[in-house]
Structure 1
Amino acid sequence: MAESSIQEKPYFCPNCRSNRVKFNMVTMYSQPFLKDAVTGMVDSTDEPVAVDEQEPNIQCRVCGFTGNEMRFIKQAEREPRG
């Protein structure tokens, strides 16, 4: 299973501009399945597989904004904690 690694740099939410500590890393999975063409019922499913991503998506746990990691890092660089 692929894992995105997050950088050890400060974040600052570019949307609410109040959060520097509470975040979620958002990952995507692909899960193959087969459906019956007539009834629409799911016939079978396979195990979910993580989608390999170049850069993790980060979600602010204060306002819910989601964006790529560099947006959060760049915002922290523009407005460093004094």
Structure 2
Amino acid sequence: MQQKPYFCPNCRSNRVKFSVISNYSQRFLKDAITGEVQEMSEPAPIEQAEPEIQCLVCSFVGNELRFIKQAEREPRAMTQTNPTYM
């Protein structure tokens, strides 16, 4: 994952709550008659060219570059605040 800001291209309100989606493959053998699992291997990660990201606000899933490009199109500007408490 890149160290760049994200912005959801779907809901256009989320810049902070995301999850990365990982895929795994796990081989197993089943009995042809009973359907019972006879042997199961350890899960192995499936290599992806680019990670898939999910927005935790609207549940939209897309490739990482889509979220990065949306953040570049609509950058968040830093604003100076001078809070006064009375």
TM-score normalised per structure 2: 0.85
RMSD: 0.8
Which residues of structure 1 form unaligned runs of 5+?
A: 1-5
**What residue in structure 2 maps to residue 3 of structure 1?**
none
Moved over 2 A (4+): none
Indicate which of 54, 67, 78 corresponds to 2:73.
Answer: 78
What does 1:22-33 correspond to in 2, within 5 Å?
22-33=17-28
Post-superposition offset of 1:59: 0.6
Amino acid corresponding to residue 24 of structure 1 in structure 2:
S
User: Separation in 2 of the partners of 1:75 and 1:35?
Assistant: 46
Paired-residue identity, %: 66
Which residues of structure 2 form unaligned runs of 5+?
A: 78-86
TM-score normalised per structure 1: 0.89
User: Which gives a bigger RCO, structure 1 or 2 (Cα 8 Å, sep 6+)?
Assistant: 1
**Which digits, 9 at most, give the CA deviation of each residue in 1:25-56, with x for residues without a partner?**
10000000011111222111110000111110
Rg (Cα) greater in structure: 2
